Structure formats: C-alpha cells, structure tokens
C-alpha cells in the first residue's frame, strides 16, 4: 500500500508528545538531502522535524547514536564553560516511546530537534567577518570534542573523505567509461593522475599514527552554522548527519574549499575562479584561535594539505560522476559536473602556486 507524503508527515507528528497542540508543520530551509519541516505549536513554540534520507544514510540508528552521543558530550562541555547548551548545540527531542528517532510504517526515519530561536543561517560568505565567525565556530567544535572517543562513532558514509579511495573510484570510472566521455576529458584525467601520490598523503599519515582520529563534521559549509541574529556570532553547528571519525584538517580544508574564493561552484569562466589568500588567512586565524591546543603541532602543519586535498577530492568526485553519467550529483545541464570539476581543479592549481604563502600563514597563527 502506497502512503502519501502528507500521511507520513501526520504519522510522524503523532509519534511525539508535543507540549501543546500542533498548529502547523511546513517545509523549511534550503537543505537538499533530508526533508525538513518547521513544527509550530499553538503556544508558539517551534521545533524542527526531519525525515532522514535513508537512501544516503542507510543506518539511521547508528546515525542517531552518533548525534546523541556528540550532542550530549557538547552539552556537558558547554555547561562546564558557563554557556547555554539550549542555543550552543543541537538538542534531540525524544519521541513518545523514548527513542531518539521514529520509524514510520513506510520505512521512513524521522527525528525532532528543538528550534534555536533568534538565529540566522547564511547561504554564502557576505563579508570576511562571516567567514571568520564560521572558522571560529568550527574551531570551537574541534576544541570541545577533542577528547571525545572518535573511534566509537559509526561511519555514516564509509570512506567519505578517504581521498585515496576516491582516486581508486575515479580510475575505475575512467576504465569503465560508461558514458563514453573519457576521450573528451583527457586533460582533466591527466590533471588528477599527476596528483595520485598526493591523494594518499593524509590517509597514510593517519595509518602511521602521525595524525590522530578526530570527531569531524565533514560538511563544514557556512550554512551549517546558526549565527546569532543580533551579533552575527556563530553559536551552533547544525547538520550533524555526517559526524564521523576523521581528520581535523579535512574539516578545515572543506571550509577553505567552499569559502576562500569568490566564484560559483560551476563557474564557466575560469578567469573568475581565484583562490583568495586573504580569506584563507581570515579563516585560519579564526579556526586556530578557537581550536587552540586541541590540535597537535603536526595537525596544524597539515592544514594546508587539508585545503588542497579536500578541493582536489571534490573535483575528482565531480569528474568521476561525469564519467559515470551523472548518477550522484544533481545536474541542471549535461556539462554541469564537468564545469564543477574545472572550478575545483583551478582552485587546486592556485593553492599549489600559493603553497609557500599558505604554509607561512598557518605558521603565523600556530
């Protein structure tokens, strides 16, 4: 029997014991993965209700175990520091049966969070101060979770930031050439192959014990931070679905990839795609000021590698999907993934050009 989306929403709403009658539940936000609703009660109180995308997150129980463990740990740290855990971390609202999530009769998985009032979520960097605040927020995330047992976390998406594995999948896509596109992108393929050894650097350092396993967010974009509406200070990290064991430099690096430039993701005019050293410095200063001594000296040394490899990895993923026939990333036109790949590779080339300057900036704030 097929169930309508409205029927499933009402079933999920009935799985929670709300402190007042539900007035409305409307779609909310700009997320592309989960279905998100803002639940408004008759007394005005608001909550976030989400249906987890189980096509991507196939183990909702493990995912919610990660989120509950990390947020409980954060609450303790925030309270110890005299902060307000109601605003400074996400808070899972248990379902009526006491569970952290609800499985509906159609196989869907739902969860509820408290709504953090008085905040805004920015979709792009509007000024350097916003980028600094995002850096400080994610640096604080690392600092607060520095002694969390990262190895106990489930891998929500296995090998998500294993760049060597991404390279192997890329080579498999080249060999299969499912969409018949390999011959036309020989230059892009050569760009990746010239950096094959780089792809293994971070995972090798982890395997050798030179880098510690950390709790990582793995989607450190500006729009995954709630900022205080009055002060524009970053106060709460959201979208914890990809919280997993990983490398601190990868979280740092993904932020640099996303924010230290002034181009759109699929900019066709590569003369407009430029890595910004000033924005790189802004982010580095905020991140290291907040993370403090939570990171080892070698972790700090590898931060530029995190930026370079997360950008390269992202480009490899776009190119791999293009070779496979565009099965993973949503596209708006046939060359969309190829254009995305070009912007990432241009940023990688810029970072290689500015490599000494990047390392000097990190040394300045260590």
241 and 102 inside one domain:
no
Residue 32 has pLDDT above 80, yes or no: no
Last residue of a domain, one of 61, 82, 117: 117
Residue 45 has pLDDT above 90, yes or no: yes
Q: Please give the pLDDT value at position 31.
A: 72
Please check whether residue 336 lies inside any domain of the structure. yes
Q: In this structure, which long-range contacts are made by residues 316-322, counting pairs with CB atoms below 8 Å and at least 24 apart in sequence?
A: 316/163, 316/166, 316/167, 316/170, 316/192, 316/199, 316/341, 317/166, 318/344, 319/170, 319/185, 319/188, 319/189, 319/192, 320/166, 320/169, 320/170, 320/173, 322/179, 322/181, 322/185
267 vs 245: CA distance, rounded Å = 32
**Mean local confidence (pLDDT), 90-117:** 97
Q: Please give the pLDDT value at position 348.
A: 98
272 and 331 inside one domain:
yes
The per-type count for the chain, helices as H runs and strands as E runs, is 13, 10
* pLDDT digits 0-9 by tens, 173-226: 999 999 999 999 999 999 999 999 999 999 999 999 999 999 999 999 888 999
275 and 353 inside one domain:
yes
Nearest to 68 by CA among 43, 99, 100: 100
182 and 317 inside one domain:
yes
Please check whether residue 122 lies inside any domain of the structure. no
**Mean local confidence (pLDDT), 5-20:** 95
Last residue of a domain, one of 52, 84, 117: 117
- Domain residue limits at 222: 128-365
CATH code of residue 73:
3.30.200.20
Residue 126 has pLDDT above 60, yes or no: yes
Residue 1 has pLDDT above 90, yes or no: no
145 and 113 inside one domain:
no
Residue 19, C-beta contacts closer than 8 angstroms, at least 6 positions apart = 41, 43, 45
Average per-residue pLDDT for the chain? 95
* pLDDT digits 0-9 by tens, 249-307: 999 999 999 899 988 889 999 999 999 999 999 999 999 999 989 999 999 999 999 99
Please check whether residue 135 lies inside any domain of the structure. yes
Residue 3 has pLDDT above 80, yes or no: no
**Mean local confidence (pLDDT), 69-77:** 98
Residue carrying the six token digits 């002034």: 262
Tell if the pTM clears 0.95, that is, is over it: no
155 and 294 inside one domain:
yes
Please check whether residue 206 lies inside any domain of the structure. yes
User: Given its phi and psi angles, is residue 292 left (phi above 0), alpha (psi -120 to 50 degrees) or beta?
Assistant: left
13 and 152 inside one domain:
no
Please check whether residue 123 lies inside any domain of the structure. no
245 and 336 inside one domain:
yes
326 vs 307: CA distance, rounded Å = 25
- Cα dihedral 163, 168, 174, 176 sign: negative
133 vs 227: CA distance, rounded Å = 8
- State the total domains in the chain: 2
56 and 85 inside one domain:
yes
328 vs 219: CA distance, rounded Å = 17
Q: Using pLDDT thresholds of 50, 70 and 90, give the confidence band for residue 123.
A: confident
CATH code of residue 244:
3.90.1200.10
Last residue of a domain, one of 98, 117, 136: 117
76 and 198 inside one domain:
no
Q: Using pLDDT thresholds of 50, 70 and 90, give the confidence band for residue 2.
A: low
100 and 147 inside one domain:
no
Q: Confirm if 96 and 17 have CB atoms less than 8 A apart.
A: yes
180 and 149 inside one domain:
yes
């Amino acid at each position: 029997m097929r169930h309508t989306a409205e029927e499933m929403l009402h079933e999920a709403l009935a799985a929670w014991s709300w402190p007042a009658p539900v007035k409305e539940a409307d779609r909310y936000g700009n997320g592309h993965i989960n279905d998100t609703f803002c639940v408004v009660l008759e007394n005005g109180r608001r909550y976030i209700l989400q249906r987890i995308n189980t096509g991507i997150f196939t183990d909702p129980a493990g995912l919610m175990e990660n989120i509950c463990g990390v947020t409980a740990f954060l609450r303790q740290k925030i309270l110890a520091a005299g902060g307000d855990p109601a605003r400074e971390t996400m808070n899972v609202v248990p379902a009526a049966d006491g569970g952290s999530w609800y499985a509906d009769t159609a196989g869907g998985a739902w969860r509820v969070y408290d709504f953090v009032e008085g905040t805004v979520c920015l979709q792009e960097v509007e000024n350097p101060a916003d980028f600094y605040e995002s850096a400080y927020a994610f640096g604080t995330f690392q600092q607060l979770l520095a002694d969390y047992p990262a190895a106990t976390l489930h891998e929500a998406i296995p090998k998500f930031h294993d760049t060597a594995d991404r390279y192997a999948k890329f080579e498999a896509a080249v060999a299969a050439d499912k969409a018949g596109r390999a011959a036309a992108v020989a230059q892009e393929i050569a760009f990746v192959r010239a950096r094959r050894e780089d792809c293994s650097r971070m995972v090798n350092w982890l395997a050798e014990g030179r880098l510690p396993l950390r709790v990582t967010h793995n989607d450190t974009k500006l729009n995954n931070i709630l900022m205080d509406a009055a002060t524009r200070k970053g106060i709460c990290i959201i979208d914890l679905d990809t919280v997993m064991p990983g490398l601190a430099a990868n979280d740092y690096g993904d932020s640099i990839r996303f924010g230290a430039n002034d181009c759109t993701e699929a900019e066709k005019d590569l003369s407009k795609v430029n890595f910004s050293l000033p924005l790189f410095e802004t982010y580095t200063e905020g991140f290291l000021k907040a993370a403090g001594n939570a990171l080892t000296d070698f972790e700090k040394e590898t931060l530029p590698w995190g930026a370079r490899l997360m950008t390269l990895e992202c480009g490899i993923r776009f190119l791999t999907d293009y070779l496979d026939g565009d099965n993973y990333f949503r596209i708006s036109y046939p060359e969309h993934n190829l254009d995305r790949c070009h912007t990432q590779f241009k940023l990688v080339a810029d970072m290689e050009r500015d490599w000494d300057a990047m390392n000097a900036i990190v040394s300045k704030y260590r």
